[in-house]
Amino acid sequence: MFRNLSITLQIVMLVALYIFLYMPILYIVYVSMQTTAIWPFPPDFTGEHYVNLWHATDYHTGFRNSLIIGIGTGMISSVIATMAVIGILKYRVKGSKLIAGLFLSPLFIAHILIGISSLMFNKTLLGLPGNLFSAIIANATYATAFAFLVLLAQLARYDWRLDEAAMVFGATPRRTFREITLPLVWPAIFGAFIVSFLLAFNNLEISFYNLGATPTLPTLAWGSLRHGISQELYALAALINAAVFSFLGLLYILIRSGVIRMDFKD
């Protein structure tokens, strides 16, 4: 009796949490398709805001810049995080805990501090102006922590004896990586890329301080939100949510198939 009560309570909390997380997202998708944003009931569907968004040229520039930041950050973060996770899990030498701590440290630093410190460091000490490149570098610091976490969780299941076997048969480390490790772990690497790409693509605080006047989608959204209701912004939010969910769906499928292939350790 008491046990059932406790499980019921847990299920209620779970459902309540999903409603709390998804109601705002579903509602904004709904509002983006309505003629009015204020109490749009009964529904009056329109695609007008999406057409306006399509024709808004500043959003095109913002999209392109966000894409550059996302891809740049995703590549840097997934490459250095993959190398580090393999190094830590495969060789397990003294000091790996400290290095793992360094890679995870950005999780414990507020974004605004990463933003302002790299702004001032670049401008005052290096004399560099804010641009897409410095935004990529600054985003890559904390995106690496997430990439590292994703890879650590996935690669912890990898059986390194496979690599040893290849080496015993005379494969060089490089060839072992290319022909044994990479084909087995690439879904995890791809997952790390997607997560770091999305984080940097949608980041406001770090990009904002490092970009000067260069617009990205989040900085445009920020500007638009300051001017009150803009249903184009809701259309944008709906599209980005749709993109994030498709990416994560793809990732889920890949990780599932990847895990199945990596799971023969047990």
Partner 1 sequence: MKNNRLFFWVLTGPGTAFLLLFLILPLMSIVVFSFWRTESYHLYADWNLDNYRVLATNPSYVTFLLRSLFMASVVSFVSLVVAWPVAFFITRYGGQFKIILLLLTSTPFLTGEILRVTAMQQILGPIGLINMALTTFGFDPVTALMYSKTATAIGLIYLWLPFMVLAIHLSLLNFDFELLQVAKVNGARPLRAFWEVTWPLNRAGSAIGVVLVFIPTLASSITSKFLGGPNGALFGNILAHQFGSTGTWALGSAMGVVLFVISLLVLYIVWKSIGDLNRSGITIKGGAE
Cβ distance to partner 1 smaller for residue 37 or 71:
37
Cβ distance to partner 1 smaller for residue 169 or 227:
227
Q: How far apart are CA 224 and CA 143, in angstroms?
A: 26
- Min dist CB 137 to partner 1, Å, is 5
3-state secondary structure of 154: helix
Q: How far apart are CA 153 and CA 160, in angstroms?
A: 15
Cβ distance to partner 1 smaller for residue 86 or 166:
86
| Both structure tokens of 81 | 């995080």
DSSP 130: P
- Min dist CB 57 to partner 1, Å, is 20
- Min dist CB 51 to partner 1, Å, is 20
Cβ distance to partner 1 smaller for residue 51 or 99:
99
- Min dist CB 221 to partner 1, Å, is 5
3-state secondary structure of 45: strand
The residue to which tokens 């939100």 are assigned? 225
From the list 188, 207, 155, 192, the residue with the least C-alpha distance to 74 is 192
Q: How far apart are CA 156 and CA 150, in angstroms?
A: 10
- Min dist CB 165 to partner 1, Å, is 17
